[in-house]
Amino acid sequence: MASESRGELLAFLRRHAPFRDMGAFALDGLVASLTPHDASDGSFILTPTDMPPDLFIIESGRVQARLAGDVNLTDQPLYDLEPGQSFPLAAVAAKRPAINVYSAVGEVRVWRLASADFSTLLLSSCEFNRFVLDHVAGLLDEARHQIEIQFGQRNSDQQSINAQLSSFLRAKVVSVTPQTSIKTSMETLVTAKVGSVVVVDAENRPLGIFTQSDALRRVVIPDHPTASPIEQVMTAPPATISASSTAYDAMLAMAMHRIRHLVILDGEDKVVGVVSERDLFAMQRIGLRNVRKVIEAAADIDALSRAAGDVRRLCLNMLSQGVSAEKLTQFISGLNDSLTRRVIEISLAHHDLHGLDWAWLAFGSEGRDEQTFSTDQDNGIIFACSDAAGLDALRQRFLDFAREVNEGLARCGFPLCKGNIMASNPSWCLSQDEWQERFTHWIRKPEPEALLNATIFFDFRALYGNEALAKALSAWLLEATANANLFLRFMAENAVKVAPPLGMIRDFAFDNNADFPHTLDLKAFGARLFVDAARIIALAHGIPHSNTVERLRAAAAKSLLGSDDINAMIEGFFFIQQLRLRNQRAGTPPGGENRVDPDKLNELDRQVLKEAFKQAKRLQSRLQLEYRL
């Protein structure tokens, strides 16, 4: 290339991202590898038949991208590309065919970077590498957004639960001072036609809240003197939430903490408003308040079974309103937790466990706060026992109780575990010492069954009872696995054996399932890959979280994973989860809840699903590197 032409090309590249951020050495190498290509109006620059695809950088003119395949090329283009833009970035990075046809509009000049040189550039320039990762993460985010739009069946009179709480603010906060009399405060409630008043200090910071319920329980019924100051009967401190939080965040806080009002604060922790259940659930066809009330008031399992149906309908409504997979799986888990706790409370009335120290444990997806619409039971019991002679008798008391709970949960729509991983199984109703012995055996003898058990039982949390027992067991487990290199290596080796379903020639590889041919198992060959890798990283590096994404984010905070890598991985995981939720919502026949036919996805979903699987593969590569697999 002539020096003058080379100088002009360098000047052009330095005007556009990511080339303007690249070091001189990497940029010089790029320029040396580029070859020019001129295209006339309407001619094809790149098609899916070009393999491996090369990268093209537009210098002048305009390039149109259109869907390939059965779509008529006279249809509307997907998008136009301008000078300085590159294509097809994701396809070149994944070394797979482009899914679009790229053609020239008018006279076009592009610069071609061969696939092999692209790979070299990824290694030599961290700026270019970051640009590619951000591009893939952007695709994942856009695809998730498209799914949310697709299922966004909002009524025109319903406000999105993703709206910020600032939209609930009144013109003026109804508040009183701590010394305001109870009588005046109650009159303020009536006059302002509100359900609560906030008690504030001189700087408008919240000290407490006084509601209509407080008036009844603390003033009217006990006949408390109404001339007394409101600070004597207010709820202090009040539950608060930031104005930048969403209606969903407030809904979840109310459900989990069993409250009906939240004081809204600005960035300086000053009161700017109050949001109530009435405000939030006016936008919902099925109110969370009603669901929670039914759960809490249920006198028997039949009533709880009806509430379980309401929970599912509410969660389906939230999915249709565009709630993300991260929040929705947490929400499903939270409401299922409430159902489980109420089943336990009802069952406790029939069993004398008073004075015993124990906790009900959730394992698997529930233990990770990652439940979807289709889930069975994975639970156990941990209990304290200081008398070895009475261990078996004590266990039997818990087993009788657990059997009733398991049966009650089954009636509420949580099928009995086919593998019998339930608290009514003596193998999973253990004392503190027995759980430690069981974990120690698996760690010291990492046989296939032990490795399988680790993928289930090492993700746990307490749902009812003494939470300290579960926390102590978790802390002990992290200490036990920190230096268990052989066990972790076997777990890693087991995890990477399950490869994402990416084909060498075709887009995807299928597992030949006879009942659901030409489908991909999004759980076994998708979400599980992220879950398994995150678990191993957490156990190896003392990360106390059980949730997959929390584990990955904590790993990034410890510099175990790159900050750029982690965003794309998390987006990939949630995209797969969103597809699973959508598939389960569609009422797929039993056995196919987690399966999807990629040919029935739109082109964007197909492309991003492939990128999501690539992120799972990259996470597996992290394990292969660390354990030299």
Instruction: Decide if pLDDT at 73 tops 60.
Output: no
pTM beyond 0.95: the answer is no
Question: Token match 């985010």: residue?
Answer: 141
Q: Provide the pLDDT confidence category of residue 443 given band limits of 50, 70 and 90.
A: very high
Instruction: Write down the pLDDT at residue 71.
Output: 35
Q: Which domains does the chain have, with CATH numbers?
A: 3-124 (2.60.120.10), 165-281 (3.10.580.10), 296-439 (3.30.460.10), 488-627 (1.20.120)
77 vs 108, residue with greater confidence: 108
**What per-residue confidence (pLDDT) applies to 320?**
61
- The C-alpha atoms of residue 15 and residue 340 are separated, in whole angstroms, by 59
225-269 pLDDT, tens digit each: 999 999 999 999 999 999 888 877 787 777 666 688 899 998 888
Instruction: Please write down the long-range contacts of 94-99, taking CB distance under 8 Å and 24 or more positions apart.
Output: 94/610, 94/611, 94/614, 95/52, 96/53, 96/507, 96/610, 97/48, 97/49, 97/50, 97/51, 97/53, 98/46, 98/47, 98/48, 98/50, 98/53, 98/68, 99/48, 99/67, 99/68, 99/603, 99/606, 99/607
Is-contact 152 320, C-beta < 8 A? yes
Task: Name every residue whose Cβ is closer than 8 Å to that of residue 492 and which is 6 or more positions away in sequence.
Answer: 536, 623, 624, 626, 627, 629
Mean local confidence (pLDDT), 504-519: 84
Instruction: Give the pLDDT confidence score for residue 545 in this predicted structure.
Output: 93
Check if the beta carbon of residue 99 is closer than 8 Å to that of residue 606.
yes
Please check the confidence at residue 505 and state whether its pLDDT lies above 80: no
Looking at residue 451, its pLDDT comes to 92
Residue 138 pLDDT > 70: no
Indicate the pLDDT class of residue 154, thresholds 50, 70 and 90: very low
Do residues 300 and 287 lie in contact, with contact meaning Cβ atoms separated by under 8 Å?
Answer: no
**Is the pLDDT reported for residue 288 higher than 60?**
no
Return d(Cα 175, Cα 271) in angstroms, integer: 9
pLDDT band at 157 (very low <50, low <70, confident <90, very high): very low
Find how far residue 60's CA is from the centre of its chain: 42
CA 292 – CA 280 distance, rounded (Å): 14
What percentage of the chain reaches a pLDDT higher than 90? 47
> Across the beta sheet with 271-276, what order do the strands follow?
240-242, 261-265, 271-276
pLDDT, tens only, 568-613: 899 899 999 988 888 887 666 777 888 999 988 877 788 889 989 9
- Look at residue 388 in the predicted model and tell me its pLDDT: 85
Each residue's pLDDT tens digit, 464-473: 999 999 999 9
**Lowest-pLDDT choice from 122-126, 396-400, 541-545:** 122-126
The reported pLDDT for the residue numbered 208 is 94
d(CA 359, CA 534) in angstroms, rounded, equals 26
Q: Residue 55 is inside which H or E element, if any?
A: strand 55-67
For residue 159, name the pLDDT band (cuts at 50, 70, 90).
very low
pLDDT, residue 543, reads 95
CA distance 338 to 295: 7
| 35, 54, 69, 91, 102 from 49: Cα distances, Å | 20, 12, 11, 12, 12
Asked if pLDDT for residue 445 goes beyond 80, the answer is yes
Backbone angles phi, psi at 211, to 5 degrees: -115, 170
What crossing angle do the helices spanning 563-585 and 528-540 adopt, rounded to 10°? 140
- C-alpha–C-alpha distance, residues 529 and 523, integer Å: 8
Whole-angstrom Cα Rg for the chain? 29
Question: If DSSP codes are grouped into helix, strand and coil, which group holds residue 424?
Answer: coil
Q: Is 237 helix (H, G, I), strand (E, B) or coil?
A: coil
Say which range, 33-37, 75-79, 182-186, 597-601, has the weakest mean pLDDT: 75-79
- Contact in structure between 65 and 32 (CB atoms under 8 Å): no
**Which stretches within 71-226 are classed as H helix?**
89-94, 115-124, 126-150, 182-192, 212-214
Which residues are CB-neighbours of 2 under 8 A, at least 6 positions away? none
pLDDT exceeding 70 applies to what percent of the chain? 87
Instruction: Give the pair of three-digit tokens for residue 492.
Output: 């890693």
